Structure 1
Amino acid sequence: MTEVAKAVAVLDLGLRACTAYDRPDAAARLTAAREALADPVMHVVVAGEFKQGKSSLVNALVGAAVCTVDDDVATAVPTYVRHGEKPEAHLLFAAPDPEPPRRETIPISDVRRYVVEGGENGGNGSRVTGVEVRIPRKILAGGLVLVDTPGVGGLASPHAAASLAAVSMADAVIFVTGAAQELTRSEVDFLQRARALCPVVACVITKTDFYPAWRRIRDLNEQHLAAHCPVPLMPVSSALRSRAVKANDTALNAESGFTNLVKFITDQIGGNAADRLAADAAAEVIALCDQLDSHFQAERTALSDPEAARRVVRELTAVKSRVETLKSSAAKWNQTLNDGVADLTADIDHDLRARVRTVIAESDAAIEEADPADTWPEMEPWLQSRMADELLANYNMLRVRADALSERVGNHFHEASTALMSRPSVHNPTPMSVVADFQHKIDLQRMRVGKQAMVALKNAYGGALMFIILGSLVGVSLGPIGIGIGLVMGHRGLREEKKRQVQRRRTEARNAIRRYCDEVVFVAGKDSRDTLRRVQRQLRDHYSRLAEELNRSNAQALAGASEAAKRTQAEREQRLKDVDAELERVRKLRQRALAVIG
């Protein structure tokens, strides 16, 4: 029996216990865990530089052309490939939190129109945030979802930040690099960040059928990974895999290298995700056992020793007061949560503004060193890349600090409740790491030859006329000398005009950068505040429900102990046998749940 099957059986026993012991509050948690086990979802993000074969890899894995492959354009929005009873596709549109994304069914043949760079946006001004494709495939039947991430601009672009944000919420990452060259510095950096965000990461070398020297590239990449980021490395050929699937050729499939990749996905990704879900479900059952055990132990103590019954009732009454305090806004965990979110909001905003100020200072220095008319084409992608990098660092800070806050709140709740409860994971702010395109409205063109001539002529004419008039006033005729003076004045005026225009272009470039940075701060700041509010609500609701469960459990224990104190000797002896039997059932249920966790 698999771990998932064991967990389902334990959950079913836990739900029967909830019904028997009148615990609908605990049954709600167990039911949610049961549903998660029944329909597990394991996201595998396929990331890498553009034109490295990510889409081809996904197509080869599922044996169908579901992701767009094009030699000229790159994927611009993520494609989610998952299991379905029949082939179908849906557009996913952005929606306000906490609403799920709006969906619109489209023919699978139209997917390309929306996922490639410069594709359609869905009409009505709606922004397509992704495309979901469902197909009936065995490899996807267990809940596997393959995410083909955008590759526009490469790993130094804003899309890299979006990919890493997706990585932070994924169960595994498959990083794709081509066999044309060894891993670059940016690829190694991306892998290091991905490994810090996701527990399971693998590197895949594609296009081995196209480059004869792929074994040399594999050896070099193994050295790079061993030194900087030890993750599994697997060379594959998507073309050979596709042919093997069509011809049902086992030998060709083995030669393609996909046998090892499929085994890695099945064992490392599917197995890990299933084990994690099973362990989480078993932990919910153990939490129920803790509450039931506390209830029956209190009643057993009261039954076995009538003198101790009054002490047990007093203790449970004190616990009741403590649990009721847990539910109030004055509880330590609640105060820690409110203060922590307020402090974290201020710190994240300050960190973001400090990072943006650093980027502005760097851009100002770069603008002063050269004419924006020459450097602006390089300045735009540099600015987008720098802002994406700083936003990602700010996002990681929010993620780490939010996890720490969740841990602190959980510890304070645990200290007050004296019962170990599971802690929820915090919300991941995916949109925060996406940087919009750099929109600038400035004129950085140099003066045309005709305009330069007009500026020089105007200054030459003005200078010559001034000296000729001065000469006539003193009775001296300058003649050709006036023309020479005019030429000198014209040259000087042209030079000054060029300097003035360079300064104007620098000013416009600086203003454009500041407008862009202000827009980024406005959007990212709003997203971080929304994220922290979601974290606050999530933690508040989670621990409020747990406090309510503890209150109900304590109330049942108090009622049992109070009733035990009123029983006769014969009634106590009979009830004691029943309570021992219930404790034995709870003990066996706990043992089965612990066996699932291992």
Structure 2
Amino acid sequence: MTPIWLDVLDETSRLCAAHGRTDLVDSVRRKRVQLLDPGLRVLIVGEPKQGKSQLVNALINAPVCPVGDGRTTVVPTVVRHSPQPTAALVQAAAPAPGRPTTDAPVPAQRLPLPIEQAVARISTTVAPGAGAAGSTHVEIGVPRGLLAGGLTLVDTPGADGPDQARVTNAYAAMARPDAVLLVSDATRELSVAEVNLLLQIAQSHPNVIVVQTKIDLVPDWRTVADRNRQHLASAGVPAALIPVSAALRLQAAKTDDKVVNAESRFPDLIGRLLRDQNSKSEVLARSAVALLSRTVIEQLAAPLRAELTSAQSGDNTAAMGRLRAAQREVDELRRCNTRWQNTLNDEMADLLSDIEYDLRDRTRKILRQVDEAFETADPQTGWEPFQQWLEENLVEAAEANFVWLAQRCDWIAGQVAAQFARYGQDALPDWSVQVPADLAERLPVLEQPPIERFTPTQKVVTALRGSYGGVLMFGLATSLAGMPLINFVSIGAGALFGGKSIRDESKSLLKRRQTAVRVASQRHVDDFFLRLNKDCRDTARRVQRMLRDHFAALTEDLQEAIVASLRTAKQSADADAAVRDQRHRQIEQEMRRLAVLYEQAQRLVSGRSATGASPLGGQP
């Protein structure tokens, strides 16, 4: 019947493969091979000078590891059973440059050693390559009954300081132990570094034992042991503490003294190792699988949990960003449409007002000049020069007014086009307002007003009418003096009065002629103003309609493009949401599978869930 822990381990391997974690698959497969092996590999670690090598020698009653002053283990030493004493230096060959990591591992190089030289090599051989802990080790085989059942001991060089945890992990990766013994002598309590190292080891190895050595040198070793147990309990380290004396064990082996052997307390340590070996396929395997599954599930669940959290927050996806950007473009185009229409209407209204004022101002200046000119000038003699001057000034005023109209229309087109600057294209129309070439032909013709002429007959009649009063008045006055009615005085007075009448009538006719010309000029300029103002307003209205049609068409083109972009972004967002929902369901399904596996793994340990929070972040 297949053990339940093996089913859990195989399911863990399948989940790792399903998630594409080939590194975890290899780790699980190695653990499977290790747990199916009936042998027990024991890794012995600790700080220097704590008695690790002496512990190994005392366990098997053989001097396989260097001990004593000036001698220490510098390379890992693997001690296993062998019918005959053997030794070999094993060096793991480095892979060739460019060799794929998926290739089969490079076989190690084995250099046989005489058993007599093994201890010397262990204490003098240095592993090649800085930081390559575990790349070189010594394997020793000895014929011992304790090792015959498959027990393998791995002695490691002492490590302390900042690199203690890293070096210890490297040795653990090399040895792949079923149990880890941390050796600390009884002359002191466990240090903070040792407790931290135990905590780190317990995260990946469920079977940890603290061996307190050198109890033969410390009379109150029991007090130290009790305090160490309290330290382990306070730190939450699930490790048993076994006090031993390697010196008493070796002495008992020499004298075959069972009492001394019992005092060494090595039977407790050996019994624990044998129990672990015998229960490896059940108790130890269950604990190892539960711990490994938890570690694997943590690594598989972490990216799923992060992806699930990211998917739930969800609005920061690229598709949603494009959708919001397209929506902003629609809103901005709507505001732009309102802005350019308001700009066009306001500027054209100002233009019409300004053009009318400009034309009115120019015509008033012309009329003022006409009034000033005909204060003294006689239209009868200067009509043709005046008519030419007036037409030239009116044409000049019309051209200036139209030029300003054209410039203002171009400026308004630029102002409206500036509202489309953010769209990165030339929004100006491909036409512009031009001054009409036939502008002079559009002006009304100034007709000469009726001008009264002072004819000779009119002068004679005016003179007679004026002289009659003078002759009569002075004739009567001189008649009182005895002179006749017609005399030289009355005749002279009549001549004076006649000349004055001619001059007065001539001035009156000139004023009437000047007034008539001014009135005609005023009427002509008013006709010119009405007609030209009508042309300017019509031109401005045509320009306004053309600009309106041009920018309306441009707005429609932009709107079609933005709406198409909005539609595409909406479709992309919907598709992305569907993909996220599908991925969300897949993640939840995977999390449920991991939760089921987690429950199965935790039930392996004493039939109940292990302590500690679930690695699934709230999943059972």
> What is the TM-score when the length of structure 1 is the normalising length?
0.41
The structure, 1 or 2, with the larger RCO (C-alpha pairs under 8 Å, 6+ apart) is 1
> What is the TM-score when the length of structure 2 is the normalising length?
0.40
